[in-house]
Amino acid sequence: YDGTAYCGWQRQKNALSIQEVLETAISSITGEKIHVIGSGRTDRGVHALGQVANFKTNTRIPIEKLPYAINSKLPEDIVVKHAEKVAENFHARFSAKSKIYTYTIYNSKFPSPLLRRYSYFCPRPLDIEAMKRAAEKLVGIHDFKAFMASGSEVKSTVRHIQRLEVERNGDIVRLEVQADGFLYNMVRIIAGTLLDVGIGKIDA
């Protein structure tokens, strides 16, 4: 999904979420009150290439036809790509072994109108090698409390970052972070910190 028009994954009282749109679409084709569980609660404006979600249904629609049926009720910025039956105890969030976030930086003198929704624009030169050295220090099991925005009530701020890669391809710099879970705004704050390293504001 393209998260531009949504408040994030999780259903909210005063804003439209991916979860609400998906639940409404599935309910309309099954005639059931559907509750969808997502593998991660993406924030406002965050997009997804492979968000996993699960729900329970008694529908007689063949499993291979479900994506087509659901997509017929979804807007163009949300698409179901695959459906399969899973074990009764499967939970999209708690069964996930890891999650991968990609943060894209457009590093050029001038912004790109085509990439404005899908990247952060940085016109200053970046020291990619310094960013890589800083990224290495974040890999492992650490308390990431300093990389969490206020407003979260999680019990533990310890997370395991399994992989954090910084790669440049032309004007595009991509940060790819794989972890067992993420705190509120954790990836954005990591990206901002690595950008500060890249422009020389702080050292690795």
Catalytic center residues: 43
**Cα distance between residue 194 and residue 186, in whole Å:** 12
Enter the DSSP assignment of 167. Answer: E
Question: Which two structure tokens, joined as six digits, stand for 88?
Answer: 């009764």
Three-state SS annotation for 61-76? CCHHHHHHHHHCCCCC
What are the C-alpha distances in Å from 158 to residues 23, 47, 67, 161, 163?
32, 25, 36, 10, 15
| Helical axes 128-138 vs 186-198, angle rounded to 10° | 140
Residues paired with 176 in a beta bridge: 102, 165
Within the chain, where are the H helices?
A: 18-30, 66-71, 128-138, 186-198
Element (H, E) at 104: strand 99-107
Pairing of strands 158-169, 53-54: unpaired
Let me know how long the chain is. Answer: 204
Q: For residue 70, which phi and psi values (nearest 5 degrees)? A: -65, -45
